[in-house]
Chains A and B, each alone.
Chain A
Amino acid sequence: GAGVSQSPSNKVTEKGKDVELRCDPISGHTALYWYRQSLGQGLEFLIYFQGNSAPDKSGLPSDRFSAERTGGSVSTLTIQRTQQEDSAVYLCASSLALSGYGSYNEQFFGPGTRLTVL
């Protein structure tokens, strides 16, 4: 079946503009993660969705970042008033969180969206 898809694959924007990044998880996966991968750094956790539960937003770096997941499937990460330090690859992952916690299950990653803020 289809894997995790993300769009756009590349996004170039000007400082101060808003951007929306989209993630389509694997069908049936209840858990969805967003990460940020900056050059020379590891993956930085941003936000976690699990079913109908309230999302874990503890990794969002500022109130300019927000995310939603509609109908338990597609997710959109929105960055308002983009700054140059927001330039990074944004990765989405989904998993079957069969247990009460998401930490056990393998995450399937999308190819990422490369965001460049000029």
Chain B
Amino acid sequence: AQSVTQLGSHVSVSEGALVLLRCNYSSSVPPYLFWYVQYPNQGLQLLLKYTSAATLVKGINGFEAEFKKSETSFHLTKPSAHMSDAAEYFCAVSAVTGNQFYFGTGTSLTVIP
């Protein structure tokens, strides 16, 4: 069975600072991994996904994530935070042979001007 752990339910960074949102997964086989963003009163939007190609995945809005099998991690980063990045971020995992997605509990990102 798959599961996802997001460390830190709330993260605050200064505008222009590095954003690092942590995600660790549990899976018996290499899964597919996703990061979604949810802006207030909106549905979730895909930021990026890992599907067993390149381990460093680049997404929209300057975000990227690196799949590290040895650490079972898929942390999300952005070199320089912008005020518009303030949102809820969800990491998700799915099995290669399956239909279900398992989401983490989310990390709320606050950007301080």
Task: List A residues at the B interface (Cβ < 8 Å).
Answer: 3-4, 31, 33, 35, 40-45, 48, 50, 56, 58-59, 91, 93, 97, 101-104, 106-112
**Residues A111 and B100 in contact in the complex (CB < 8 Å), given A41-B105, A42-B90, A42-B106:** no
Asked if B43 contacts A110 (CB within 8 A), the reply is: yes
| Residues in B whose Cβ lies below 8 Å from that of A40 | 9, 105
| Residues in A whose Cβ lies below 8 Å from that of B26 | none
Asked if A45 contacts B43 (CB within 8 A), the reply is: no
| Residues in B whose Cβ lies below 8 Å from that of A104 | 32, 51, 94, 96
Complex interface bits, B54-90 against A, C-beta within 8 A gives 1, otherwise 0: 0000000000000000000000000000000000001
| Residues in A whose Cβ lies below 8 Å from that of B101 | 33, 43, 45, 103, 107
Q: Which range contains the number of B residues in contact with the other chain? A: 20 to 34
**Residues A56 and B41 in contact in the complex (CB < 8 Å), given A103-B32, A107-B46:** no
Assess whether B25 is interfacial by the CB under 8 Å rule. no
Asked if B100 contacts A103 (CB within 8 A), the reply is: yes
Asked if A103 contacts B44 (CB within 8 A), the reply is: no
Quick one: closest A residue to B95, CB to CB? A103
A52 to B94, CA, bound (A): 22
Asked if B102 contacts A45 (CB within 8 A), the reply is: yes
Quick one: closest B residue to A31, CB to CB? B99
A107 to B100, CA, bound (A): 11
Asked if A42 contacts B104 (CB within 8 A), the reply is: yes
A103 to B103, CA, bound (A): 13
Asked if B99 contacts A48 (CB within 8 A), the reply is: yes
Complex interface bits, B9-43 against A, C-beta within 8 A gives 1, otherwise 0: 10000000000000000000000101010000111
Quick one: closest A residue to B46, CB to CB? A106
Asked if A50 contacts B42 (CB within 8 A), the reply is: no
